[in-house]
């Protein structure tokens, strides 16, 4: 089993969609929210995903395909 | 022995022992090194610092490393230059340039990597790793060579050859990743979890970032043990910006300088300006951007410390400004033509950002201002090359020379015989 810590950023039109619940139904991945902030026009969630690595990767791709921005928790790692 | 005594979460305040970790296990917030400041206060003094080596390690008491085991390639204590010519051009009276082009691999990254490499040795890692488009890769490769560590450096597949050489000469394992910027980020995050490497800006990040504080310490010492009124700093992840401010606060708390509220201003290139955008909107919520600018060393679309940088701006009465790519080149040329300093694009961002801040009245002409120049111009020469006057091409005769000069300058200088 693998664990990944990710940050999901939702634009306004996605805020009302229960996408994290859908992700857990669609894939064999356990989601564990640690921090979040949702405003009128935007939301972000920092969470841990636990499951087989390939399944986690498929779930992250699915999230991106739904218009969610997916980033590593520490922000960008590639530096100048 | 180091005076660092714990890691502390910037979000929830939980403490952790000094280990190679970077996020809080509870809230996944970023961790920061904390020190036994009372013990430091008992020993530190102007004299103790001044008797140290002429490098960043003269401030070893305030860094998270055993001072007897540091990996030093001669980083820091770079010149602070009184920039009279540039000051006059901009309408300032007291402008200084902190010239960090003069580090061993020609950028400020040597400061953070020197700390990261020292800590990696203390934690008994055998491999130093990073993902970079330039300066960081150069510095990690050089420090690993000096430390006798293996280096593994991830670079984008389309990186210019000139930038690859600055790392390849030190013989790291260079891995060119064929993928988007986001793909490379994701891969590195996974690699950081999978392999027991000291990934300088992942698991060693809390220690690594502390190296930037030495810029603040040096500025204070070089100004005669005082803080400046204003700093103008390039913004990428925001880490450098927040650590310079932390350095001023530490020096003041330790009684090494009088507390003076230094205003902290940041500058970004418009093509990658998520922190400036948040500042202009009056929010602490940084929206990631897709970078599209010639200032590649600042091209971080999702800045790890953007939130904290914005808090520092707010707390100090500072601000943030973005400049266009043509302004970046203008800034590079202006610095070179007035002060003889050839900076990379990040320096152009700072100088043009400073000019905007002065023109808008945000900076008072009487302030003591320090502009931080963080990398040398030869690293990004391809962006300015088309903007520079070509050499005069002549045949080897006096007449040809004078004809060409007359055409370029409009007049000839007076000769020896009048």
pLDDT mean across residues, chain B = 95
Taking only the tens place, the pLDDT of each residue in B9-19 is 999 999 999 99
Contact B336/B384 with Cβ under 8 angstroms? no
pLDDT of B405 over the 70 cut: yes
Query: How far apart are the two ends of chain A, measured CA to CA in Å?
Result: 33
What is the per-residue DSSP string for B269-336?
Answer: EGGG-HHHHHHHHT-S-PPP----SS-GGG--SS-TTHHHHHHHHHHHT-EEEEE-HHHHHHHHHHHH
Spatial CB neighbours of A22, under 8 Å, sequence gap ≥ 6: none
Beta bridge mates, B320: B266
Taking only the tens place, the pLDDT of each residue in A32-48 is 999 999 888 888 999 99
pLDDT of B236 over the 90 cut: yes
CA-wise closest residue to A60 among A74, A72, A75? A72
Which tokens is A38 given? 């949702």
What is the least distance, in Å, from the CA of B285 to any CA of chain A? 9
Taking only the tens place, the pLDDT of each residue in B53-102 is 999 999 999 999 999 999 999 999 999 999 999 999 999 999 999 999 99
Domain boundary among the residues B208, B240, B260 is at B208
Which tokens is B347 given? 């320096």
pLDDT at B416: 87
The reply to whether B250 and B379 lie within a common domain is yes
Whether B185 sits inside 8 A of A79 (CB atoms) is no
In a domain, B186, yes or no: yes
Higher-pLDDT residue of B5 and B288 is: B5
From residue B416, alpha-carbon distances to A3, B401, B413 in Å are 78, 16, 10
What is the least distance, in Å, from the CA of A77 to any CA of chain B? 5
Find the range with the poorest average confidence among A60-64, B146-150, B162-166, B312-316. Answer: B162-166
pLDDT at A41: 83
The reply to whether B371 and B276 lie within a common domain is yes
Interface confidence (ipTM) of the complex: 0.88
pLDDT of A75 over the 90 cut: no
Q: Which stretch of DSSP H or E encloses residue B110?
A: helix B109-122
pLDDT of B180 over the 80 cut: no
Contacts of A76 in chain B (CB under 8 A): 181, 185, 237, 300-304
Higher-pLDDT residue of A4 and B159 is: A4
In a domain, B393, yes or no: no
What is the least distance, in Å, from the CA of B295 to any CA of chain A? 9
The reply to whether B84 and B117 lie within a common domain is no
Contacts of B135 in chain A (CB under 8 A): 79-80
Residue in A35, A46, A78 closest to B185 by CB: A78
What is the least distance, in Å, from the CA of A30 to any CA of chain B? 17
The reply to whether B232 and B294 lie within a common domain is yes
In a domain, B98, yes or no: yes
Domain boundary among the residues B173, B193, B208 is at B208
The reply to whether B259 and B293 lie within a common domain is yes
| DSSP structural state of residue B59 | G
Q: Does domain A2-72 have CATH number 3.30.70.260?
A: yes
The reply to whether B310 and B193 lie within a common domain is no
The reply to whether B232 and B302 lie within a common domain is yes
pLDDT at B192: 85
Residue in A39, A71, A78 closest to B131 by CB: A78
In a domain, B395, yes or no: no
The reply to whether B195 and B321 lie within a common domain is no
Taking only the tens place, the pLDDT of each residue in B289-339 is 989 999 999 999 999 999 999 999 999 999 999 999 999 999 999 999 999
Domain boundary among the residues B184, B208, B232 is at B208
Beta bridge mates, A51: A2
Question: What domain count does chain B have?
Answer: 2
The reply to whether B36 and B89 lie within a common domain is no
Backbone phi, then psi, for B93, in 5-degree steps? -105, -30
What count of CB pairs under 8 Å joins A to B? 102
Cα three-residue angle B131-B25-B305, rounded to 5 degrees? 45
Residue in A48, A73, A78 closest to B133 by CB: A78
Cα three-residue angle B319-B267-B59, rounded to 5 degrees? 90
The reply to whether B49 and B167 lie within a common domain is yes
The reply to whether B149 and B120 lie within a common domain is yes
Residue in B23, B135, B288 closest to A74 by CB: B23
In a domain, B391, yes or no: no
Length reported for chain B = 418
Chain A, 27 to 46: residues with Cβ < 8 Å from chain B are 34-35, 37, 39, 42, 46
The range of the structural domain enclosing residue B147 comes to 4-72+109-208
Whether B28 sits inside 8 A of A35 (CB atoms) is yes
pLDDT of B161 over the 80 cut: no
Strand blocks (E) in A1-80: 2-11, 30-38, 42-51, 69-72
Question: Residue B418: pLDDT band by 50, 70, 90 thresholds?
Answer: low
pLDDT at A40: 82
The reply to whether B87 and B158 lie within a common domain is no
CATH of the domain at B141: 3.40.50.1100
Residue in B11, B26, B131 closest to A77 by CB: B131
């Amino acid at each position: 089993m693998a664990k990944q810590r990710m940050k999901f950023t939702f634009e306004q039109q996605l805020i009302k969609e229960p996408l994290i619940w859908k992700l857990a139904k669609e894939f064999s991945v356990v989601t564990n929210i640690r921090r979040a902030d949702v405003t009128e026009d935007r939301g972000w969630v920092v969470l841990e995903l636990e499951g087989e690595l390939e399944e986690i990767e498929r779930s992250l791709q699915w999230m991106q395909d739904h218009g969610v921005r997916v980033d590593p928790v520490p922000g960008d790692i590639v530096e100048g | 022995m180091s005076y660092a005594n714990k890691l502390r979460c910037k979000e929830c305040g939980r403490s952790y022992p000094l280990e190679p970790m970077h996020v809080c296990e509870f809230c996944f917030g970023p961790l920061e090194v904390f020190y036994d400041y009372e013990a430091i206060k008992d020993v530190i003094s102007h004299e103790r610092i001044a008797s140290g080596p002429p490098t960043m390690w003269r401030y070893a008491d305030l860094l998270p490393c055993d001072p007897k085991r540091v990996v030093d390639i001669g980083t820091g204590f770079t010149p602070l230059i009184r920039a009279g010519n540039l000051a006059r051009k901009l309408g300032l009276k007291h402008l200084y340039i902190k010239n960090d082009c003069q580090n061993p691999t020609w950028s400020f990254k040597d400061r953070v990597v020197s700390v990261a490499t020292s800590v990696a040795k203390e934690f008994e890692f055998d491999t130093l790793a990073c993902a970079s488009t330039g300066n960081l890769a150069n510095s990690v490769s050089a420090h690993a060579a000096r430390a006798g560590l293996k280096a593994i450096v991830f670079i984008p597949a389309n990186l210019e050859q000139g930038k690859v050489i600055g790392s390849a000469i030190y013989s790291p394992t260079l891995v060119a990743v064929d993928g988007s910027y986001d793909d490379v980020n994701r891969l590195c995050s996974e690699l950081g979890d999978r392999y027991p490497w000291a990934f300088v800006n992942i698991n060693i990040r809390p220690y690594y970032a502390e190296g930037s504080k030495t810029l603040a310490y040096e500025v204070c010492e070089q100004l005669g043990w005082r803080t400046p009124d204003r700093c103008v700093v390039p913004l990428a992840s925001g880490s450098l910006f927040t650590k310079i401010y932390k350095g001023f606060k530490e020096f003041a708390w330790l009684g090494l300088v009088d507390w003076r509220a230094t205003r902290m201003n940041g500058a970004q290139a418009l093509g990658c300006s998520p922190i400036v955008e948040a500042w202009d909107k009056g929010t602490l919520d940084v929206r990631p951007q897709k970078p599209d600018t010639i200032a590649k060393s600042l091209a971080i679309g999702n800045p790890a410390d953007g939130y904290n940088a914005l808090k520092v701006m707010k707390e100090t009465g500072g601000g943030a400004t973005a400049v266009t790519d043509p302004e970046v080149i203008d800034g590079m040329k202006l610095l070179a033509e007035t002060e003889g300093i050839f900076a990379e694009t990040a320096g152009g961002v700072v100088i043009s950002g400073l000019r905007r801040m002065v023109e808008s009245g945000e900076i008072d002409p009487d302030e003591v201002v320090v502009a931080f120049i963080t990398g040398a111009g030869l690293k990004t020469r391809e962006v300015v090359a088309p903007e520079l006057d070509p050499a005069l091409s002549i045949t080897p005769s006096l007449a040809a020379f004078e004809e060409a000069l007359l055409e370029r300058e409009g007049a000839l200088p007076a000769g020896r015989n009048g």
